[in-house]
Amino acid sequence: MQPTYLWALLSLAVPLLIHLLNKGDVKTVKVGSVKFLRESDTKQSRKIRLHELFLLLLRMLLLGLIILYLAEPRWKTKVQKVALTYLIEPSLASNEAFMAFADSLPQNDIRWFAENFPDLEAEVDRGTVPTYWQLAQSLTEIHSDSIVVFTKGLAKGIKGPRPVVDPNVRWVIVENETEVVEPIGAKIIGDSIRLFEAKSSSQITDLQANMLSKNDASVVSLTADSLVWNASGETTKVPILQNDTLHVTVAFDESYEREMWYVTSALKAIGTYGMREIKLKTMDADALPETGKPLDLLVWLKNGNVPNISQTTLAMVPDSLANSLIEPTESKNLFHLTGRLNIENTITKNFTNSLASLLLFNSTLEDNLIERDQRVLPETEFTPNVATSESRMKVRTMDISPWIWLAVFLVLVAERILSKVRKQ
C-alpha cells in the first residue's frame, strides 16, 4: 500500500471548482417577446445541467480511480490455515538418517525450503544452498499456524539483512558432519605445481597450498588450462591459475616516507613467499598514476584527494576506531590504511598478510572456496529476528489493480460517449 498517494484525492476539487466558476460564453439575442420561450427554456436548461453534472461526476470518478490505483490498495481475504507445516532444506535429502526421521513426521504439510516452497514430490535442485534470509521473508506465503524449518544453517547461505519473521516459525539446525577436502586450483611454478586445496568442516574453512613435482605420481595430465589430479583413487580436474606479473605503484610524500618503507618491504616478502613477480614503482608527492599502464594496486600515502581509478587502491585514512590496519570501504576497489605503521602494529595486526590478501586475491579460488564452505552458524546468529506483537505478519491480501483498470476503462468509455452526445 502507498497511502500517501491518497492525499491526491484533494485534487478532485479542481474540476468541481472549474465547473462552478465556468459560466461559458453568454450571448444576448434581442427578441420581441419571451412569452413562448420560457417554458421550453426551463426544460432544456434542466436537461443540460443534468448532463453536465453527470459528466462532471464521471470525470471526477475517473481521476479518483487513477489515484486509487497509484495507492496500490489491497483487499483482505480470509484463508484457511493448516495447523503445522514442515520445511526441509533440499540438500538434506542426501542425509539418510534425517530423511528417515522426516518420514516419521506427521504428514500434515511437508514442503521443500526452496523458492515457492514446493511439495516434497516436486523436483528441486538439491545441490544449491538456499539463501535462507531471503526465503524467510517469503514465509508469509505459507498459511499455517506453526512452521518448523529444518536446515543445515550454512554460513554461505546467509546474504542480505536479517529479516523479521513471525514468532510461530521455529528453526532447527541439523548437525552437519560433512568434511570437504578438495583441490580447487593450481599454479605452475617452474618444474613444480602449487596445488590449492579447500578444507572445510562445520567449524572452519581453510585454504591450503601444497607443492608437488610435475612428475608426481598423482598428476594424471597437465595442460596450460587445467590439471587432472588423482588422490586416493579419485580423479579431479582443477583450473590452472595464471601467474602474471603484478604491478604496484606507491605514491607518497615526505611525511609518510616511513610507511613507504614498510609497504615496500611487505611487498618484497609477498613476492618471495607468494611466488609472484611484483614490479614496484614509487612516486613522489607531485606525480599522478599514469593512465594506460598496467596497474594491479595503487598505495596512496598522501594527504588530500585519492585518485578515482578502477584499479584496487589502498589509501592512508587514519581511523583510531578501526579493528585492523586495512579496512574495506563502500567502494569495491578502495581500501583504507587506518593508521601509521610501526614495527609493533605491522606484526601484531598482520599487515603483510592483510596486504597479501588484497594483492593476491583470486576470484576463481574465492568462488570455489565459498562453494565448498561447510561452516555452520550458531543458532543465535542464524535465526532471523522475531516480530513483536505490533509487527506481526500481514494477513493475506489480494491485488485489486486489474479491477481498478477495468473500472477506469468503463468510466472512460461512458465519459467519451456522453461527451460525444453533448458534443463537449
Does residue 232 register a pLDDT over 80?
no
What 8-state DSSP symbol labels residue 129? P
Q: How far apart are CA 112 and CA 99, in angstroms?
A: 12
Q: What is the rounded average pLDDT of the residues 71-83? A: 74
DSSP-based three-state secondary structure for 326:
strand
Q: How far apart are CA 186 and CA 229, in angstroms?
A: 10
Percent of the residues in the chain that have a pLDDT greater than 90, as a whole number: 20
Segment 359-418, tens digit of pLDDT = 877 778 888 888 888 888 888 888 888 866 544 444 556 678 888 888 888 888 888 887
Does residue 226 register a pLDDT over 70?
yes
Burial class of residue 31, CB neighbours in 10 A (0-12, 13-18, 19+): exposed
Does residue 424 register a pLDDT over 70?
no
pLDDT value, residue 104: 87
Highest mean pLDDT among 163-167, 284-288, 328-332: 328-332
- Could you write out the DSSP letters of every residue in 340-387? ---HHHHHHTTHHHHHHHHHS--HHHHHHHHHT---B--HHHHSPEEP
Does residue 258 register a pLDDT over 80?
yes
CB neighbour list of residue 68: distance below 8 Å, 6 or more residues apart:
6, 404
Burial class of residue 22, CB neighbours in 10 A (0-12, 13-18, 19+): exposed
Does residue 24 register a pLDDT over 60?
no
pLDDT value, residue 22: 66
Q: What is the rounded average pLDDT of the residues 20-30? A: 64
Highest mean pLDDT among 36-40, 151-155, 276-280: 151-155
In 3D, which of 144, 6, 39 has the Cα closest to residue 83? 144
Mean pLDDT, rounded, of the chain: 83
Does residue 40 register a pLDDT over 80?
no
Q: Which three cell numbers stand for residue 388?
A: 513483536
Q: What is the rounded average pLDDT of the residues 105-116? A: 86
Task: Provide the residue type at 2 as one letter.
Answer: Q
Q: What is the largest CA-CA distance in the chain?
A: 124
| H or E element at residue 188 | strand 180-189
| Rg of the chain taking only CA atoms, in angstroms | 36
Average the pLDDT over each of 6-10, 79-83, 102-106 and give the range with the smallest value.
Answer: 79-83
Q: Which three cell numbers stand for residue 186?
A: 593450481
pLDDT value, residue 29: 67
Q: Which three cell numbers stand for residue 406?
A: 477495468
What 8-state DSSP symbol labels residue 57? H
List the Cα angle 258/260/266 in 5-degree steps: 110
pLDDT value, residue 395: 54
Task: State the residue for C-alpha cell 597450498.
Answer: 209
Q: How far apart are CA 424 and CA 422, in angstroms?
A: 5
CB atoms near residue 174 (< 10 Å): 17
Q: Which three cell numbers stand for residue 197?
A: 586445496
pLDDT value, residue 105: 83
Q: How far apart are CA 200 and CA 205, in angstroms?
A: 4
Task: State the residue for C-alpha cell 506481526.
Answer: 392
The pairing of strands 180-189 and 192-200 is antiparallel
The model's confidence at residue 113, banded by pLDDT at 50, 70 and 90, is very high
Task: State the residue for C-alpha cell 518420514.
Answer: 103
DSSP-based three-state secondary structure for 290:
coil
- C-beta of residue 309 within 8 angstroms of C-beta of residue 324: no
| H or E element at residue 273 | helix 257-273
Does residue 216 register a pLDDT over 60?
yes
pLDDT value, residue 344: 92
Does residue 263 register a pLDDT over 90?
yes
pLDDT value, residue 82: 81
The model's confidence at residue 336, banded by pLDDT at 50, 70 and 90, is very high
Average the pLDDT over each of 82-96, 341-355, 408-422 and give the range with the smallest value.
Answer: 408-422
Q: How far apart are CA 346 and CA 325, in angstroms?
A: 8
pLDDT value, residue 224: 82
Q: How far apart are CA 103 and CA 359, in angstroms?
A: 50
Pairwise pLDDT comparison (423 vs 266), residue with the higher score: 266
In 3D, which of 302, 367, 368 has the Cα closest to residue 337? 302
In 3D, which of 402, 405, 424, 404 has the Cα closest to residue 415? 424
pLDDT value, residue 391: 42
Does residue 2 register a pLDDT over 50?
yes
